A and B are shown apart, each in its own frame.
Chain A
Amino acid sequence: MERQSLKRLQESIESVIKGKSDAVKMAIVTLLGKGHLLLEDVPGIGKTTLAFTLAKATNCSFQRVQFTSDLLPTDIIGVNIYNPDTREFEFRSGPLFANIILADEINRTNPKTQSALLEAMNERRVSVDRKTYRLPEPFMVIATQNPLEYHGTFPLPESQLDRFMMHLKLGYPAAEYERQVLFQQASFDSIESMAPAISSEEIIRMQQEVDAVKIDDSLVDYIMSIITHTRRSDKIRLGVSPRGGQFLLKAVKATAYYEGREYVTPDDIKGTAPLVLGHRIILKTQTYISDAERVIEEILSGIPVPV
């Protein structure tokens, strides 16, 4: 049943984003694992479209925030405004109060705003004037980052990158799909009018079911072994943190769930690990996340798979 609705979801997203089924799958997996997604790629690739389509297909509310250097935390969280009629302060929620938020070019804003966003991502609630407001469920932040332009940016520190469950690189579409894209009407209206493939309530239920996915002890050992290796590798300056391990376990379970299984297999781990761990390590030679991904793949090809 779940497998079918998830398949429907995937198909409906892919009707808009063509030829990117792996990225679409991983985005859904991140949503199922209650994680946040970091998209690192050049502009014009379809990052915004992916986020918007995901929101529409799951019948979720969507907000897009363009991160600029003068953006303030209150601009995304919201502010208390004095209401002359009631003579009281009223909370005016910001764009963060949506199910799916696209944080565009997150590295362009100041650290203060970055950390406000990342704190909200982690705790799923915000505090304004000693009052705490819960963020809606499901809640997922899709942040984008342009890997090439570094002028006037505030690169996210590792501690903040650590809060994203996964990072993805969309990459250019294959020629056959790009041809179709050329003729596509670049309008969000058609997406706006898209019928949802799945309800947001269903997503919440599925998120809970992901926790019940079984994982064999030997596979837990496998995960441990991967993490330990990142800490010992001579190519890596900073290995994966315990939180990284937690995210990997979560992502692996979500992957298994996505595949319609109630249990994790070694392939779930080997397939997910580079995307979950790539942005959590610092290589000795400072480079892009995609290089780190390759190092993780190298490590994976040297760890015996449990049988």
Chain B
Amino acid sequence: MKIINIILISALAVIGSFTALTAEEMTGKTIMEKVYYNPSGDDTQGELTMSLINSRGDTRVRKLMQYTKDDGKTEKKIMFFLSPADVRETSFMNWSYTDGRDDDQWIYLPALKRVKRISSDSKGDYFMGSDFTYDDLGDRHPDDDEHKLLRTEKIGEYECFVVESVPKDKDYMYSKTITWVMKDNYLGLKREFYDDRDRLLKVLNIKKFENISGFWTILETEMHSVQKDHRTQMVFDEVKINTGISESKFTERSMTMGR
């Protein structure tokens, strides 16, 4: 369960064996666990439009086709650039592991006609110049943080738990995050990220979500870096879940063949 999960496939299931706890019994930790263990499909595909907007309002738009598959141990993802034209058919593959190993990453540059492995030691890196770090895109295990239920409040029509999560690792890039979790589907609706000096760094807002094939799926989201006033919007179209994507989709060979 990794990258894009929050965004793409965080899903809700009301599982029978899980007796629904009442709000009074809920703690910060149980809420975040419910969010984390929200079942998602085994595979997903969709078209992602990523818009990067700087403080001057300059906008760069990239369109990608994205496939993910998760067997519980490894989450594999492959993305093919559709536009802009000069990077068309460039592809990027990421394997991330639940056992804590570093991600494996590959890139294929059609102008160079070669697949290269990328190894990077920084999880804090921003994903493709966006306001999301690789870490933001993945699901953070609830045991990594201390959680506290601050209050419940309404955002728009949605009743939310407001949970503060403080990382146990003091050197983590955020000093804390505050998450608004919708009560009826345990989907995060909004999250605030605070920097190492406890100043508001970024705000994530979910703008559109739908139930697709029985899974609650986020379709539109925006991350706003408050200090730089830089925004990343992600919009997902033609999302399909559990179509049985073949394992061979996630290979170096497949990277060179386009979507």
Instruction: Indicate whether A and B interact.
Output: no
Residues of B participating in the A interface, judged by any CB pair closer than 8 Å: none
